[in-house]
Amino acid sequence: MSLLLKNALIVTMNDGFEVVQGDVSVREGRIAAVGVVPDAPHDRVIDAEGDYVLPGLIQTHIHLCQTLFRGYADDMPLMQWLRTRVWPMEAAHTAASLRAAARLATTELLASGTTAVLTMETVHETDAVFEAVAESGIRATIGKCMMDADADVPSRLKEHTRTSLDESVALYRRWHNTSDGRIRAALAPRFAVSCTRELLEGVAALSTAHQALVHTHASESRDEIAIVRQISGGLSNLAYLDSLKLATPHLCAAHCVWADDAEQEMLARRDVKVMHCPSSNLKLGSGIAPVAEMRRRGITVSLGADGAACNNRLDMFDEMRLAAMLQAVHHHPGALSARDALWMATRAGAARLRWSTTSVRLKSARRPTSSGFGGASRTSRLIQTPTPLSCTRRVAPTSSPASSTARCLSTRVRRPASRGRRSRSRPGPPHGSWPFAPVYNPLAVSVEEC
Ligand SMILES: [Zn+2]
C-alpha cells in the first residue's frame, strides 16, 4: 500500500520547525519521502493543494472508558464529580460497554487528528479495551486503573493491593509492545487519594523493574491536595509521590495545576513528565496550570483532553487553543505561543510515550513565498506559519476514520486561500464558515516515524 499526497503545505514539526510546500510519500505505513518525492507510482494519489498536512496529534492523558459518560457529570468539582458520577459509572462498566466506549473514543480521536494516546482505563475488564484499541489502528499506551484505598469508592472499584499489582503485571506481559509495537501497557494508579502507600510503593518497584511508564493524576484540585496532605502526614501531593520513589522519568503526572515552585523544581530534577488538560481543568474549576513556568524549568509538558466526562469533547485542537489562551490570561499574550502548543501536541507527546522522534529531513522542497505558497526553492527553510492554531474549529469529517493505515496518519486540514490567490482545484470556504475543515483524515504521516 502506498500513498502520495501532492502539493500540500507540510508542517513537518521537525527540529527546525520547517514548513514546506511539497509532497509526502507513504509506503507500507511509513513516510518514505517528504518534500520533492522521487517520481514513482503510488497506489493512491491525492491532490492536497489548499490543505495543510500535519503530524498526527498525541494525547497523553485520556480515559477512553469515560466516553459514554459525556454530558453526564457537569457542573461539579473534581471529588464530587468522581464520587457521585464517574466512579459509579465506571463500576457499572461491563466488557461490552468498555469495548463500545473504546471504539467510540478511538473513532472520535482519529476523526479529529489524534493518532496516539496515553490512556487510563477503569479497574476491571481492561482486556476489552486493549482488544478494541488494537482493532482501531490508533497507537495507544493503556493502563488498567489501580485503586485500593477507601476513598468513597464503589465496592467494584476497590481492589486488594496484591490483586491490583498482579493484574497490572499480567496485562503488561500480555499486551506490551503488541500489534508491531503500536499497543503498549503502562501502570496506572489513579491518584494518591485512592491508592494505599503499599500500592504506590509496589508500582514504583514494578516501574523500575520493567522500565514501565506510570500514568497517574497529581495536584489537580485543592480538595485532592488537602486529602493527600492528611494521608501522607503533611506532605504535598507531588512530594508524597517523590517520597515513595515514584518521581522518576517514567512518571507521567496529569494536571499538576497546583504544583508550587519547590514541586516544579523537583519535577524538573527528576524528569517527571506533566500532562496539561486545559478543558478539563476549566470544566471542573480546578484552576490554571503553571504551564509556562514548568516549561521554563525544562519540564516536558504535553496535552490531553482527559476524558469525555470532564471535557465533553476529545478534540486536540480545542486543547491546543485553550492551552495557549489560558497562559495569555495567566501571564501575557505569547507566554505559550501557537507554535509551543503545536509542539506540545506532537513532539512533546512523542517524547512522553518514548516513540522515536527522528526528524523529517527534507532533501529538497518548495517553500512558501512571501506572496503565497507557490514558490519553488531547492532548499527548505524555517518560515513563520500562517497562524496555524488561530482557527481551530473544524466541521465534522466525512470519512471513516478507522482503517488499517491509521497507525501512520495525520490530519490534513484545509487552509484558507491566501489573499489574491485561491486554490485552483478547491475554492476557499464560503464567507462566514469555519476557515479550516478536515477534508480527509486517516492518512499518512507522523513525523516521529520517519
Ligand atoms: Zn484524568
Q: Supply the pLDDT for residue 37.
A: 84
Q: Supply the pLDDT for residue 336.
A: 97
pLDDT of 231 above 50: yes
Residue 60 Cα to ligand 1 middle (Å): 10
Residue 32 Cα to ligand 1 middle (Å): 36
Ramachandran region, residue 230 (left: φ > 0; alpha: ψ -120 to 50; beta: rest): alpha
CA distance 65 to 360: 34
Q: Supply the pLDDT for residue 16.
A: 86
- Of 24-33, 222-231, 359-368, 387-396, least confident by mean pLDDT is 387-396
Q: Is 388 within a domain?
A: yes
CA distance 382 to 315: 28
CA distance 228 to 327: 27
Confidence of residue 39 (pLDDT cuts 50, 70, 90): confident
Q: Supply the pLDDT for residue 28.
A: 87
Residue 217 Cα to ligand 1 middle (Å): 6
For every residue of the chain, which 3-state class applies, written as one string?
Answer: CEEEEEEEEEECCCCCCEEEEEEEEEECCEEEEEECCCCCCCCEEEECCCEEECCCEEEEEECHHHHHHCCCCCCCCHHHHHHHHHHHHHHHCCHHHHHHHHHHHHHHHHHCCEEEEEEECCCCCHHHHHHHHHHHCCEEEEEEEECCCCCCCCHHHCCCHHHHHHHHHHHHHHHCCECCCCEEEEEEECCHHHCCHHHHHHHHHHHHHHCCCEEEEECCCHHHHHHHHHHCCCCCHHHHHHHCCCCCCCEEEEECCCCCHHHHHHHHHHCCEEEECHHHHHHCCCCCCCHHHHHHCCCCEEECCECHHHCCCCCHHHHHHHHHHHHHHHCCCCCCCHHHHHHHHCHHHHHHCCCCCCCCCCCCCECCECCECCCCCCCCCECCCCCCCCCCCCCCCCCCCCCCCCCCCEEEEECCCECCECCCCCCCCCCCCCCCCEEEEEECCCHHHC
pLDDT of 49 above 80: yes
Q: Is 391 within a domain?
A: yes
Which of 321, 345, 369 lies at the terminal end of a domain, its last residue? 345
Residue 216 Cα to ligand 1 middle (Å): 8
Q: Which amino acid is at 36?
A: V
Residue 397 Cα to ligand 1 middle (Å): 26
- 326 and 366 both lie in a single domain: no
Asked if 122 and 93 count as a contact pair (C-beta separation under 8 A), the reply is yes
Q: Is 66 within a domain?
A: yes
Confidence of residue 202 (pLDDT cuts 50, 70, 90): very high
Residue 341 Cα to ligand 1 middle (Å): 20
Place of cell 493512491: 44
What mean pLDDT value characterizes the chain?
82
Q: Supply the pLDDT for residue 356.
A: 54
Q: Is 430 within a domain?
A: yes
Asked if 119 and 98 count as a contact pair (C-beta separation under 8 A), the reply is no
Asked if 141 and 186 count as a contact pair (C-beta separation under 8 A), the reply is yes
Asked if 218 and 151 count as a contact pair (C-beta separation under 8 A), the reply is no
Asked if 62 and 117 count as a contact pair (C-beta separation under 8 A), the reply is yes
pLDDT of 390 above 50: no
Q: Which residue has the higher pLDDT, 147 or 401?
A: 147
Asked if 314 and 115 count as a contact pair (C-beta separation under 8 A), the reply is no
- Mean pLDDT score, 280-299: 97
Confidence of residue 355 (pLDDT cuts 50, 70, 90): low
- 5 and 98 both lie in a single domain: no
Q: Is 154 within a domain?
A: yes
- Mean pLDDT score, 239-268: 97
Pick from 213, 84, 197: nearest CA to 144:
213
- 389 and 311 both lie in a single domain: no
Domain count, the chain: 2
What is the crossing angle of helices 95-111 and 126-136, to 10°?
A: 30
Q: Is 350 within a domain?
A: no
Q: Supply the pLDDT for residue 351.
A: 75
Which of 289, 322, 345 lies at the terminal end of a domain, its last residue? 345
Q: How many CB atoms lie within 10 A of CB 97?
A: 15
Residue 376 Cα to ligand 1 middle (Å): 46
Pick from 250, 257, 309: nearest CA to 283:
309
Asked if 448 and 410 count as a contact pair (C-beta separation under 8 A), the reply is no
- 267 and 410 both lie in a single domain: no
Which of 345, 380, 403 lies at the terminal end of a domain, its last residue? 345
pLDDT of 361 above 70: no
Q: Which residue has the higher pLDDT, 429 or 359?
A: 359
Pick from 331, 335, 411, 412: nearest CA to 59:
411
Residue 117 Cα to ligand 1 middle (Å): 12
Domain residues for the domain of 41 are 1-55+357-450
CA distance 209 to 409: 33
- 29 and 75 both lie in a single domain: no
CATH assignment at residue 210 = 3.20.20.140
Q: What angle do CA 112, 115, 117 make, to 5 degrees?
A: 105
Give the pLDDT confidence of 301-337 residue by residue, as tens digits: 999 999 999 999 999 999 999 999 999 999 999 999 9
CA distance 177 to 135: 15
Pick from 292, 362, 375: nearest CA to 13:
362
Residue 308 Cα to ligand 1 middle (Å): 10
Residue 426 Cα to ligand 1 middle (Å): 40
- 8 and 141 both lie in a single domain: no
- Of 59-63, 79-83, 118-122, 381-385, least confident by mean pLDDT is 381-385
Share of the chain above pLDDT 70, in %: 78
Give the pLDDT confidence of 139-177 residue by residue, as tens digits: 999 999 999 997 789 999 999 999 999 999 999 999 999
Q: Which residue has the higher pLDDT, 404 or 226?
A: 226
- 371 and 338 both lie in a single domain: no
- Of 121-130, 201-210, 334-343, 375-384, least confident by mean pLDDT is 375-384
- 14 and 101 both lie in a single domain: no
- Mean pLDDT score, 174-201: 96
Confidence of residue 412 (pLDDT cuts 50, 70, 90): very low
- 117 and 244 both lie in a single domain: yes
CA distance 447 to 270: 27
Residue 214 Cα to ligand 1 middle (Å): 13
Residue 209 Cα to ligand 1 middle (Å): 25
- Of 283-292, 331-340, 381-390, least confident by mean pLDDT is 381-390
Q: Supply the pLDDT for residue 163.
A: 97
CA distance 135 to 404: 9
Residue 307 Cα to ligand 1 middle (Å): 6
Asked if 117 and 350 count as a contact pair (C-beta separation under 8 A), the reply is no
- 43 and 70 both lie in a single domain: no
Q: Supply the pLDDT for residue 416.
A: 47
Residue 230 Cα to ligand 1 middle (Å): 22
Residue 28 Cα to ligand 1 middle (Å): 34
- Mean pLDDT score, 192-217: 97
Asked if 205 and 229 count as a contact pair (C-beta separation under 8 A), the reply is no
- 278 and 182 both lie in a single domain: yes
Q: Is 352 within a domain?
A: no
- 223 and 102 both lie in a single domain: yes
Q: Is 131 within a domain?
A: yes
